[in-house]
Amino acid sequence: MTNKYSRAFRLAILLLLTFVSQVKADEGMWIPMLIGKNYDQMKKQGFKLTPADLYNINKASIKDAIVSMGGGFCTAEVVSGHGLLFTNHHCGYEAIAANSTPQNDILDNGFYARSYSEEKLIPGLFVDFLVRMEDITPQVTTALKNTSDADKGSKLQQISQQLINNATKGTNYHGSVNDFYKGNQYFLYIYEKYTDIRLVGAPPQSIGKFGGDTDNWEWPRHTGDFSIFRIYSGKDGKPADYTTDNVPLSPKKFLPISIKGIKNGDFAMVYGYPGRTDRFLTSNGIRLATEETNPIIVKLRDIRLRAWKEEMNKSVDTRLKLSSEYAQIANYWKYFIGQTDQLKHLRIDTQKQAEEAEFSRWAADKPEYMGLMQKYHDIYTAYEPYAIHRTYINEGLLAPGFVITTLLLNRSLAAISAQADNQEKVAAIRKGQEETNSKYVATYNETADKKIFAQILAAFYQDVPRSQHPQFLEDILLKYKGTTPEVSFSNYADYLWANSRLIQPARLKEFMNNPSLADLAKDPAYQYASNINPQNYVRNVFGSKLSDFETQKIALDHLYEKALLEKNEGKLMYPDANSTMRISYGNVQDYAPKDGVEYKIQTTLDGVIEKYKAKDSEFDLPPSLLDAYQHKIFGQYGVDGTVPVDFITNNDITGGNSGSPVINGNGELIGLAFDGNWEAMSGDIAFDKKYKRTICVDIRYVLWCIDVLGHGNNLIDELDIHKK
Ligand code: ARG
């Protein structure tokens, strides 16, 4: 699953500045360094290696074969002695789409490099290896002692920077400090970043994204969700920015592959970088999501998807241009539909209320924790009237691409003028802004963009309580008056598009030839954007209500998890995902989605063919596949007259885990994790043991696609394939 926090969202955050379970199996995303605590259980479930095989800082271990991609949107694993990486197709999607044109359409036709020289550099893509991690809770706790709540943030930043500097001095490493259990524990992470990453191969998207949005988040599944990259280094093996002299990385460790096959109950482990879970969210938060904010997210994404789809149907060029953005928005559009449905269906709020009542009984005689649940209730009650408006900021007001682009442009120009005599700094800022602009331009579509702009504002007008409407919107409505709010906002869009120098790509390019802060300030698109610059907007419309809610919630969450750690002393309790490396162990496991229905652990090529619909945008198949199926060319990957395609395990994963290796009890790669299942879409908030499954592409399908359909023998030869 791809991290739900897209680049746009992270940018928005930048502008904003910013259950306890008995360990059995499956549930839990465990910390690699501490995996020894789970070892007995893992062994019982079929794990044959030792904790040191998983994580070791003195010699190569499995952690050294696993990387986080692009700062955490996905995971990938090294599978050869020449730095070859496997990840999901949807993780490589942007890179594949960006290298596709109607003339050389590798998104639709697939592509396998026959030699190093055919591999395609992906500018901006990087991977991080974890060098080591360290528990720094004592240092942080000491540093934060006697610090007021208000000063905690900056103090934490200061001590973190100091610890990172000490740990990385004289190396090419970088570090980060992450908090666990809502600030009850802290770890320092040291990483090594490689920046020369090249695209090596991908199946046609009719395989890599087979089933499209219809099958997304659902089992039974028939998707070949894989793509191939390679890490390059300098001749010394160290990270180096792209040059033609760079060589394929000789990794410390790579994963062998097993094509022996799997059966129900086999040990399975997912090792990667889960992004975020919210397993300790209280019933108040769940109610707010299901009743108020999730439906708004879905509605706003729907506006974007419809407008894009209409344009994508008009030309191949437009389809290729918009398909990556479309897929990203569509992925979490369906996610939020499913999450809402399943939170309700599984009655997660009732379940949480019972846990909270039990907690309150336990806390009744403990002064530090008593009344905690009432306090949650109170802060949510005060915040609730603003929750929809808050959701509209990220998912609506900041969604039109020009808004963030012009806000960042203002920031860049201000920084440039402050640094005018530092040529190097100026060049770097300019380069950063050019990248922002080109991302914006890459998905620019005048018809869709205007429509989205007007429809989002009209929806805002309708959904956000009138008393919270900012004056500038009322002014726009008055000045560009039409028969409905949508017509008015559409008139306003016409005005902006005709008069701004920052919206249309050609004019933006011209503006950038001689950009000035004064001209920016006069531009109507910037004037509009600056009205919704979150830094001012949030304060103007919410006063201190939003920041109060957030600060109070952070404090309550911290206390709640502190209490839970205390309440569960002696038992193992896993922390929420936070984009750090985790291990989830469990088994290949079937399930019953509803009464009278049983789902098997594995799908096959026969099922792919059953779903086949010629020329359909989601269920078409490439001729090579149809041909190989017809002639039963299954190579060494066939079983019982077909090829295994996808399988399920009961592992605990979330967005960011996409592309993670699924590893058997012997440490061999058996598949790549790529999705969750519909019946457990509430999983980021509550893990349901009965229903929650991880959907994986079987490594035999991956190899069959590369080998038999793609004739990528050069790649197969690099791998260490175990047949028994
Ligand atoms: N749901 C998957 C995930 O979050 C993405 C699958 C991509 N496929 C798609 N049809 N969008 O990682």
* Token duo for residue 540: 């103007």
Mean pLDDT of the chain: 95
Alpha helices in 346-392 (DSSP H): 348-363, 372-392
Residue labelled with tokens 């990172």 = 164
Strand pairing of 721-722 and 257-258? parallel
Q: How far apart are the first and last CA of the chain?
A: 30
Q: Are 61 and 53 in contact (CB under 8 A)?
A: yes
Size of the chain in residues: 724
**Do 67 and 85 meet the contact criterion of CB atoms below 8 Å apart?**
yes
**Tokens, residue 330:** 């569509």
Which residue, chain included where needed, has tokens 């990270």?
Answer: 239
Q: Which amino acid residue places its CA nearest to atom 12 of ligand 1?
A: 1
Nearest protein CA to atom 6 of ligand 1, as residue: 216
DSSP, collapsed to helix, strand or coil, labels residue 381 as helix
Pocket probe mutation, ligand 1, options 270, 674, 678, max atoms within 8 Å of Cβ: 674
Q: Which residues of the chain carry a pLDDT beneath 50?
A: 13, 16-24
The amino acid sitting at 684 is D
Cα 89 from Cα 111, distance rounded (Å):
12
Structure tokens at 251: 């990794």
- Please compute Rg for the chain using Cα positions: 26
pLDDT in tens, 650-685: 999 999 999 999 999 999 999 999 999 999 999 999
The predicted model scores a pTM of 0.95
Alpha-helical regions (H) of 61-117: 89-98, 106-109
Spatial separation of the C-alpha atoms in residues 68 and 93, rounded to whole Å: 16
Find the helix or strand (DSSP H, E) in which 107 lies. Answer: helix 106-109
Complete domains list, the chain, with CATH:
31-126+195-279+578-724 (2.40.10.120)
CB-defined site of ligand 1, < 6 Å: 1-2, 90, 209, 212-213, 216-217, 327, 330-331, 655, 658, 674-675
Distance CA 64, CA 84 (A): 13
- d(CA 217, ligand 1 centre) in Å: 7
174 is annotated as an active-site residue: no
Report the distance separating Cα 494 and Cα 104, nearest Å.
35
Reading the block at residue 30, the tokens are 């465990």
User: How far away, in angstroms, is 1 Cα from ligand 1 center?
Assistant: 6
Nearest Cα residue to 53 out of 45, 65, 40 = 65
Residues 6+ apart with CB under 8 A from 56: 63
Contacts of 484 (CB under 8 A, 6+ apart): 458
Three-state helix/strand/coil letters over 493-538: HHHHHHHCCCCCHHHHHHHHHCCCHHHHHHCHHHHHHHHCCHHHHH
Residue 170's contacts (CB-CB under 8 Å, 6 or more residues apart) are: none
What is residue 20's predicted lDDT score, i.e. its pLDDT? 34
| Model confidence pLDDT, tens digit, residues 530-551 | 999 988 898 888 889 998 999 9
* Ligand 1 nearest-atom number relative to CA 674: 12
Round to whole Å and give the CA distance between 552 and 557: 8
Instruction: Look up 658 and say whether it is catalytic.
Output: yes
Is residue 187 within 8 Å of 580, Cβ to Cβ?
A: yes
3-state secondary structure at position 683:
helix
Predicted pLDDT at 10: 54
Helices (H), 364-479: 372-392, 401-418, 423-442, 446-463, 471-479
Task: Compute the half-sphere exposure of residue 496: CA atoms within 13 Å on the CB side of its CA.
Answer: 26
Dihedral sign of CA atoms 190, 196, 202, 206 in order: positive
Cβ-in-10-Å burial (0-12, 13-18, 19+) of 488 comes to buried
Give the DSSP H or E segment for 154. Answer: helix 149-168
> Ligand 1 centre and the CA of 556: distance in Å?
34
Mutate which of 270, 331, 651 to test ligand 1's pocket (most atoms within 8 Å of Cβ)?
331
* Residue 90 appears among annotated catalytic residues: yes
CA-based torsion, 263, 268, 272, 273: positive or negative: positive
Choice from 216, 226, 332 to test ligand 1 binding pocket (greatest atom count within 8 A of CB)? 216
- Would you tell me the crossing angle of helices 446-463 and 471-479 to the nearest 10 degrees? 120
Write the residue with the smallest CA distance to atom 3 of ligand 1: 1
- 44 is written with which tokens? 């019982």
The whole-angstrom separation of Cα 426 and Cα 431 is 9
d(CA 570, CA 126): 40
- Looking at residue 703, what is its pLDDT? 98
The amino acid occupying position 124 is: G
Contacts of 532 (CB under 8 A, 6+ apart): 393, 397, 398, 403
The burial of 606, by beta-carbon neighbours within 10 Å (0-12 exposed, 13-18 middle, 19 or more buried), is given as middle
Residues whose CB is less than 8 angstroms from the CB of residue 263 and which lie 6 or more positions away in sequence, other chains included: 588, 601
Q: Which of 549, 183, 568, 558 is nearest to 355 (CA)?
A: 568
556 and 375 Cβ atoms separated by less than 8 Å:
yes
pLDDT reported for residue 7: 53
The C-alpha atoms of residue 399 and residue 485 are separated, in whole angstroms, by 19
DSSP, collapsed to helix, strand or coil, labels residue 445 as coil
Per-residue confidence (pLDDT) for residue 536, from 0 to 100: 87
678 CA to middle of ligand 1, Å?
Answer: 12
DSSP 174-228: EEEEEEETTTTEEEEEEEEEE-EEEEEEE--HHHHTTTHHHHTT-SS------EE
User: Which pLDDT does position 148 carry in this prediction?
Assistant: 84
Q: How far is Cα 686 from Cα 285, in angstroms, rounded to an integer? A: 12
435-494 per-position pLDDT tens digit? 999 999 999 999 999 999 999 999 999 999 999 999 999 999 999 999 999 999 999 999
Q: How far is the CA of 231 from the centre of ligand 1 (A)?
A: 24
Structure tokens, 675: 């999705």
Nearest to 276, CA basis, from 370, 186, 191, 178: 178
Q: Which residues of 125-150 are buried (b: 16+ CB within 10 A; e: fewer)?
A: bbbbbbbbbbebeebbeebeeeeeee
Which position among 196, 215, 225, 266 bears the catalytic label? Answer: 225
Residue 676 CA: nearest ligand 1 atom is 1
Q: Which residues are CB-contacts of 18 (< 8 A; sequence separation ≥ 6)?
A: none
* Cα 268 from Cα 693, distance rounded (Å): 12
- pLDDT value for 722: 98
> In the prediction, which pLDDT does 150 show?
77
SS3 of the chain: helix, strand, coil, percent, to 5: 50, 15, 35
- Report which of 36, 85, 91, 32 is spatially closest to residue 63, judged by C-alpha positions: 32
Closest CA to 63 of 129, 134, 1: 129
Residue 376 Cα to ligand 1 middle (Å): 34
